[in-house]
Amino acid sequence: MLRASVIVFPGSNCDRDVKVAIEKVTGFPVKMVWHGDAEVPASDLIVLPGGFSYGDYLRCGAMAAHSPIMRDVIAKAKAGTPVLGICNGFQVLCESGLLPGVLMRNASLKFICRDVHLKCEQDKTFFTQCYRRDQVIKVPVAHAEGNFFADTETLDRLEGEGQVAFRYCDADGNVSAATNLNGAQRNIAGVTDKTGRILGMMPHPERLFETALGGTDGRRIFESALVSVTAAMA
């Protein structure tokens, strides 16, 4: 059993993709929750999807982070409900303070839309336990503001406490300036909170979850969530 809720903001455009991905991978129906609602139904997992919530006005994710539903998302996240933020959802998590840092304009100033390689640096957390440590996976990115920034002290703390989930790398897992597609500090593509139950990532796992889409590396995010929830119930 997995009760997942996807939050729909005005301007979200990956909300139905992630719904389909979760339903096909886990076999359980997903609820869609409108941003103006006051409460998220009881959920084992909340997803903040990709897109351009509120037209990216002011800063990406800034308006969504203050929408009515986010008060309950933040309260539930702080009480332990796992939250996955993909792309714009990652930006919303940073703007709401659930994750540290901020996603800035890509260093190239270009919108980047292509498959990238990621190095998985966590194999124990709610969303990543079905990956192997240092496994290289291929997942697409599609963003203009994915350049992760935090001050040096915060970056050191994230690395020290194992909160870096994914880094941009090449097909062999080498992390370097050459594989840093958007200028992100230390090639960071995804981070978790201290508990590992809140994950924000710029790449889109829901876009490569079955062979018909050209790859399956993204599905383990959702498999991990199902395994984690099932284990917690046992």
- Positions annotated as catalytic residues are 87, 204, 206
Between strands 147-149 and 83-86, the pairing is unpaired
Among residues 31 and 105, whose Cβ is nearest to other proteins?
A: 105
Q: Is 59 in the site for other proteins (CB under 8 A)?
A: yes
Among residues 4 and 94, whose Cβ is nearest to other proteins?
A: 94
Tokens coding 169: 């790398």
CB-count exposure of residue 203 (10 Å: 0-12, 13-18, 19+): buried
> 3-class DSSP state for residue 90?
helix
User: CB of residue 57 vs other proteins: minimum separation in angstroms?
Assistant: 11
Applying CB under 8 A, which part among 1-9, 55-63, 121-129, 211-219 lies near other proteins? 55-63
User: CB of residue 136 vs other proteins: minimum separation in angstroms?
Assistant: 28
Residue 188-207 contact track with other proteins, rule CB under 8 A, x = bound: --------------------
User: CB of residue 91 vs other proteins: minimum separation in angstroms?
Assistant: 10
Applying CB under 8 A, which part among 3-11, 106-114, 163-171, 193-201 lies near other proteins? 106-114
> 3-class DSSP state for residue 104?
strand
Applying CB under 8 A, which part among 12-20, 96-104, 121-129, 218-226 lies near other proteins? 96-104
- How far is Cα 114 from Cα 133, in angstroms, rounded to an integer? 24
- Quick check: 126 and 230 in contact, CB under 8 A? no
Give strand pairing partners of 51.
12
- Quick check: 164 and 135 in contact, CB under 8 A? no
Applying CB under 8 A, which part among 73-81, 104-112, 135-143, 193-201 lies near other proteins? 104-112
Which of 134, 151, 156, 161 touches other proteins by CB under 8 A?
Answer: 151
User: CB of residue 107 vs other proteins: minimum separation in angstroms?
Assistant: 5
- Quick check: 118 and 189 in contact, CB under 8 A? yes
Q: Is 150 in the site for other proteins (CB under 8 A)?
A: yes
Q: Is 109 in the site for other proteins (CB under 8 A)?
A: yes
Among residues 134 and 151, whose Cβ is nearest to other proteins?
A: 151
- Quick check: 74 and 83 in contact, CB under 8 A? no
Q: Is 174 in the site for other proteins (CB under 8 A)?
A: no
Q: Alpha carbon of 125 to those of 57, 184, 198, 199: distances in Å?
A: 33, 23, 9, 9
End-to-end Cα spacing for the chain:
11
Closest by CA position to 87, among listed 64, 68, 66: 64
- Binding residues for other proteins, rule: CB under 8 A, are 58-59, 62, 66, 94-95, 100-102, 104-109, 149-151, 183
